[in-house]
Amino acid sequence: MTKLGLLLIALMTSSGQAHAVPSWGAPTSSPADTSPAALKPGQWVWGGDSKAMGPMAVVVSITEQRAYVYRNGLLEAVSTVSTGKPGHETPTGVFTILQKDKDHHSSKYNDAAMPYQERLTWDGIALHAGGLPGYPESHGCVHLPTEFARLLFGATNMGMVVVIAKDGVSDPGLVHPLVASPIDPGTGKEVLDVPLGTQEQYRWQPEVAPTGVVSLLLSTSDRRLFAYRDGKEIGRSRVDFRNGAAPAGTRAYMVANTKVAAGEPSWVEVGIPGEEAAGGTTLSQADEQRVLLPDGFRAALKPILQPGVVLLVTDKHVLPETTGPALQVLNAEQPAL
């Protein structure tokens, strides 16, 4: 599933020193190319964060015992968790952060430490650092690795949406999340993922989110490019590649500036933890020209490609399944994005 859109930011934050509180889980992030399914109890991946990059949302899968963190529609972090044990099950549904307390202690369970607590219900359900045995063992809260909980605590805002899901109760897209966020970050409602029709080359709906931060996600496996603004999908298009196979692996790029003469964006690679590329390399014109898009979609996208826009290119699947024919409206002689 991902090498984790763990991208979003060239502003990779340093983890810093842990506070003098009980500590659980791995002290540092696993490499970005670690599959969420391969994370062992207590392990996690974090790719840096900046609140300027758009709205954040969290999806907790009780079934998988993992938490997925999205920023502006793209996955940027994932962690193993431990949810409520039998008799103290963690409730499913849509919640918001009601209260934050870095040094919280339980009023119900012997003053137990609950570092980096982010309250979801007034009767005691919260996200916080805690034990991670690899199975549900809490009294209903969602336990996180200490350092992951610290980073998440610093990244979240009051009122941020948290969705908790499990098999038999929730939609499969919430129970087994992918690289793109399955929820609206403002409401927590499931996103209606309508595939392109067999004769539909692209869809452009800027009215879904008229303003906000923009990010792009290109899946070379699905041959789709998705545009998000304010965490909501505003467009998707078929995509193809000229001169050879599609790029492999996961890379992140950011618009550094717009070339005044042509009005074209200049893309700079963003370093992703665990990847060979350190970032800072300008995307060559030859590589840019390999990406083929329908003319209408390219024209609609161009005005919003302003400095700071992030593009994640991954060979991981975004769609539950690939549907429809390959892109046929372009040929090797037509201009690229």
State pLDDT tens for residues 239-274.
999 888 888 888 888 998 866 556 678 889 887 665
Integer-rounded Cα Rg, in Å, for the chain is 20
User: How far are the Cα atoms of 195, 236, 237, 277, 330 from residue 203, in angstroms, in the given order?
Assistant: 10, 5, 6, 33, 16
pLDDT at residue 233 tops 50: yes
Tell me which H or E stretch contains 175: helix 172-175
| Cα–Cα distance for residue pair 255/38, rounded to 1 Å | 32
| Cα–Cα distance for residue pair 29/152, rounded to 1 Å | 13
Write down the pLDDT at residue 263.
Answer: 65
Q: What is the 8-class DSSP label of residue 16?
A: -
| Cα–Cα distance for residue pair 323/236, rounded to 1 Å | 13
Stretch 77-81: mean pLDDT: 97
pTM for the predicted model, two decimal places: 0.85
Write down the pLDDT at residue 152.
Answer: 97
pLDDT in tens, 290-306: 899 999 999 999 999 99
242, 337 Cβ separation under 8 angstroms: no
| Cα–Cα distance for residue pair 285/271, rounded to 1 Å | 20
**Terminal CA-CA length for the chain:** 26
320, 304 Cβ separation under 8 angstroms: no
Q: Which residue has the tokens 């024209």?
A: 299
At residue 27 the predicted structure's pLDDT band, cuts being 50, 70 and 90, is very high
At residue 323 the predicted structure's pLDDT band, cuts being 50, 70 and 90, is very low
Lowest-pLDDT choice from 75-89, 155-169, 301-315: 301-315
> Tokens at residue 285, please?
């014109």
User: With DSSP H G I counted as helix, E B as strand and the rest as coil, what are the percentages for the chain, rounded to 5?
Assistant: 10, 30, 55
Write down the pLDDT at residue 274.
Answer: 55
Tell me which H or E stretch contains 91: none
What is residue 332's three-state secondary structure? coil
pLDDT at residue 277 tops 60: no
Write down the pLDDT at residue 154.
Answer: 95
Q: What is the DSSP string of 292-326?
A: E--HHHHHHHGGG--TT-EEEEESS--SSS--SPP
Question: Which carries the bigger pLDDT value, residue 272 or residue 42?
Answer: 42
Q: Please, how many CA atoms are within 13 Å of residue 73, restricted to the half-sphere of its CB? A: 25
pLDDT at residue 110 tops 90: no
pLDDT at residue 325 tops 70: no
* Residue 224, beta-bridge partner list: 219, 238
Stretch 224-233: mean pLDDT: 96
Stretch 81-85: mean pLDDT: 97
100, 120 Cβ separation under 8 angstroms: no
At residue 322 the predicted structure's pLDDT band, cuts being 50, 70 and 90, is very low
Write down the pLDDT at residue 321.
Answer: 61
Q: What percent of the chain has pLDDT over 90?
A: 63
| Range among 129-143, 267-281, 286-300 rated most confident | 129-143
Stretch 99-111: mean pLDDT: 79
Instruction: Count the Cβ atoms, other than its own, within 10 Å of residue 57.
Output: 24
